[in-house]
């Protein structure tokens, strides 16, 4: 493989891994907001326990996601310095805002939320989680704004051999951004709903004693999935006119792109159908007595994540041979690094990401098997002991 091919594979691997962490983080924080808001309003202990249990899983995934994000950022300097040189003034603006405004604030609010259990007023503590969720989606907002520029460059002027930011508002009204961002939002909420549904089903398969706890979690997961998936599919199909206008013939850029696009649509339709068929079974806990649907719920946990990777392949590979569509070819953005060094970094980064993924899944599985705490912990229950 050429240096360009190896660099593309490396970026694809690292980005895909990182996006899976982000997807679950955004989905879980949305459901946590619902759980803790219920607790703040009702004061019911079960809602507090739900927030603590699912919050523990959320923090594990968030911590590992930070590490993958840091590693992914190295790609721009190591392999794609031509992008920074040519379009860094435009492309880097939303990325800088994502780091300075969204990510730093999100981490601060999350830290206060983690260590604020039992120390802060109930409503103050709830507001910290709301702020964590809002800044998390703000982070996704700026990332998608940067990606939208790569798909359809706007808001720039050519100065010498580089691009300069000319109209920041154009980045925020870019059709390839405004049509894609809702799709990402509903995809993450769907992933969170499917995950909570599957984990709750797993505990019912094990004949858990925490029936009320996981009954509520199961209902929340199924209802969330049923509400999010129609919007997810609608937002997905709404992108096709935009693609046809600004990237005509995108699917023909690689003849095999039709397969991942088709798989993504099939998964979206399947999750929508399954969640809506399950809604009536929530009445009188029929879904628990039947048991067979519980196994399908557990098996379905990976589906939204697989669909997200398929969608990313279509969006990114279909843009080739352009890195900045119509302006900068992928091969011209490559750093002056020989193929052997890129292969070495590909092996190192892939191994590191695989290790992080295994650690993440192992810690989440451990937290899931442990189940909710029976009594309130004396310190924050979100501190994970390895």
Asked whether 190 and 229 are in contact (CB, 8 A), the reply is yes
Q: How many CB atoms lie within 10 A of CB 329?
A: 15
Give dist(CA 386, CA 384) in Å, integer. Answer: 6
Average pLDDT for residues 75-84, to the nearest whole number? 83
User: Would you say residue 231 has pLDDT above 60?
Assistant: yes
The reply to whether 142 falls in a domain is yes
Q: What domain range is 147 assigned to?
A: 14-179+347-386
Q: Which residue has the tokens 């843009």?
A: 319
Average pLDDT score over residue span 219-227: 95
User: How much is the average pLDDT of 99-109?
Assistant: 86
Whether residue 131 has pLDDT greater than 50: yes
For residue 333, pLDDT beyond 60? yes
Predicted pLDDT of residue 18? 85
Distances (CA, A) of 145 to 77, 212, 221: 20, 42, 29
Across the range 1-13, mean pLDDT stands at: 86
Is the model's pLDDT at 385 over the cut of 70?
A: no
Query: Has residue 235 been placed in a domain?
Result: no
Lowest-confidence segment of 77-91, 107-121, 253-267 by average pLDDT: 253-267
Q: Measure CA 333 to chain center.
A: 27
Region 160-165: mean pLDDT is 90
> What's the structural domain count of the chain?
1
Residue 174 lies in a domain: yes
CB-based burial of residue 105 (10 Å sphere; 0-12 exposed, 13-18 middle, 19+ buried)? middle
In a domain, 193, yes or no: no
Evaluate whether residue 100 is within a structural domain.
Answer: yes
Q: Quickly tell me which residue has 């980064």 as its tokens.
A: 349
Residue 258 located in a structural domain? no
Tokens of 185: 């939002």
pLDDT attached to residue 381: 46
Is residue 187 a part of any domain in this protein?
A: no
What is the pLDDT confidence band of residue 126, given thresholds at 50, 70 and 90? Answer: very high
Q: Using the predicted structure, report yes or no on whether residue 297 has a pLDDT greater than 80.
A: yes
Average pLDDT over residues 178-205: 95
For the chain, the average pLDDT equals: 88
Question: Which pLDDT band, with edges at 50, 70 and 90, does 377 fall under?
Answer: low
Please report the pLDDT score of residue 193 as a whole number.
96
pLDDT tens string 11-61: 888 888 888 889 999 999 999 999 999 999 999 999 999 999 999 999 999
Q: According to the model, what pLDDT value does residue 253 have?
A: 57
Quote the CA–CA distance of 188 and 229 in Å, as a whole number: 10
Does the residue 171 lie in any domain?
yes
pTM of this structure: 0.91
What pLDDT is stored for residue 375 in this prediction? 57
**What residues are paired with 164 via a beta bridge?**
157
Distance between CA 213 and CA 203 in Å, rounded? Answer: 10
Neighbours of 161 (CB within 10 A): 7
């Amino acid at each position: 493989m050429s240096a360009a091919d190896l660099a593309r594979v490396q970026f694809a691997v690292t980005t895909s891994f990182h996006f899976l962490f982000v997807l679950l983080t955004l989905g879980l924080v949305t459901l946590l907001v619902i759980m803790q808001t219920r607790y703040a309003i009702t004061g019911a202990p079960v809602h507090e326990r739900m927030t603590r249990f699912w919050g523990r899983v959320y923090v594990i995934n968030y911590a590992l996601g930070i590490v993958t994000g840091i590693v992914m950022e190295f790609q721009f300097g190591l392999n794609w310095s031509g992008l920074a040189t040519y379009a860094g003034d435009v492309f880097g603006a939303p990325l800088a805002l994502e780091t300075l405004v969204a990510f730093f604030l999100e981490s601060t609010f999350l830290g206060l939320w983690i260590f604020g259990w039992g120390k802060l007023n109930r409503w103050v503590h709830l507001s910290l989680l709301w702020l964590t969720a809002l800044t998390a989606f703000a982070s996704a907002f700026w990332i998608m704004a940067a990606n939208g520029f790569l798909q359809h460059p706007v808001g720039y002027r050519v100065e010498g051999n580089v691009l300069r930011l000319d109209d920041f508002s154009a980045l925020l009204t870019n059709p390839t951004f405004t049509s894609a961002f809702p799709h990402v939002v509903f995809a993450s909420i769907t992933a969170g709903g499917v995950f909570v549904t599957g984990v709750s089903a797993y505990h019912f398969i094990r004949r858990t004693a925490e029936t009320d706890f996981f009954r509520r979690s199961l209902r929340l997961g199924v209802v969330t999935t049923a509400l999010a998936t129609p919007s997810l599919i609608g937002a997905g199909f709404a992108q096709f006119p935009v693609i046809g206008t600004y990237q005509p013939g995108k699917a023909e850029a690689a003849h095999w792109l039709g397969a991942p696009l088709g798989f993504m649509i099939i998964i979206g339709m399947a999750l929508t159908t399954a969640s809506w068929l399950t809604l009536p079974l929530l009445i009188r806990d029929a879904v628990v007595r039947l048991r067979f649907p519980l196994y399908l719920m557990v098996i379905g946990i990976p589906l939204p994540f697989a669909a997200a990777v398929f969608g990313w392949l279509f969006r990114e590979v279909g843009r080739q041979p352009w890195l900045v569509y119509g302006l900068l070819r992928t091969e011209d953005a490559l750093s002056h690094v020989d193929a052997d060094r890129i292969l070495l970094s590909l092996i190192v980064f892939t191994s590191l990401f695989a290790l992080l993924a295994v650690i993440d899944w192992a810690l989440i599985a451990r937290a899931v098997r442990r189940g909710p705490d029976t009594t309130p912990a004396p310190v924050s229950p979100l501190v994970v002991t390895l």
